[in-house]
Copies of this chain bind each other. A is one copy, B any other.
Amino acid sequence: MELPMEKWTILSRKKIMQRAVFSVSDMECEHASLGISHTFSIIDAPDWINVVAQTENGELILVRQHRLGTDEITWETPAGMIEKGEDPRCAAERELSEETGYTAKEIVLMSVLRANPAIMTNRIHFFLAKGCTEIQKQNLDREEDISVELRSVRQVQDMIHSGQIDHSIIVTALSLFLLSEKQQSVTEGL
């Protein structure tokens, strides 16, 4: 039997900074049975989408860009923020098209996860875009400089193993895809 756990009571919440892609708030909380109060600082961000996109030939569409958090050029799957009021699937189609110029025949939701419940409020919607074809040019934001690269599923697995793909959210997206592929091949093998 699973016992209910006790939650902290949130007494107050105050935004202490706001930037374009996230804000930070302090929350004063108290815990009745621990008999203490504590301030938790949390990061508010809009929900994000992440797209594992596969061409009609089965290759995966990767993007490269300079990321300032780590000051490195990363290998990633197309991704971005959901705009206010935007449907997650539309955001996935939009980001795929803007960052790569590709459009999918079909987009399916793989999973919706919490980015990091300890300190972040938002969710990540992971999509699989199938049968993608390049039908237009990239349409990048002013500050974006993104190159597009195609790699086989096998190459992408090797890039994860070697550490060339080392962005945890991207590894999550690709793992969801690889685990579902393995599941499928097990099922088909029966």
Contacts and interface: CB of A to CB of B under 8 A. Distances in A.
Nearest to A6: B145
B119 A22 contact: yes
A150 interface: no
Looking at chain A, what size class is its interface with the partner chain? 35 or more
Given A69-B121, A143-B34, A168 B10 contact: no
The A interface is mostly helix, strand or loop, or mixed, namely: mixed
B171 A113 contact: yes
- Nearest 10 pairs of A and B residues by beta carbon: A175-B175, A67-B117, A19-B41, A113-B168, A40-B68, A70-B117, A38-B143, A172-B172, A7-B66, A69-B120
Interface of A: 2-3, 5-8, 10, 16-17, 19-22, 24, 26-27, 29, 31, 33-34, 36, 38, 40-43, 64-74, 111-121, 124, 142-143, 145, 147, 149, 163, 166-169, 171-172, 175-176, 178-179, 182
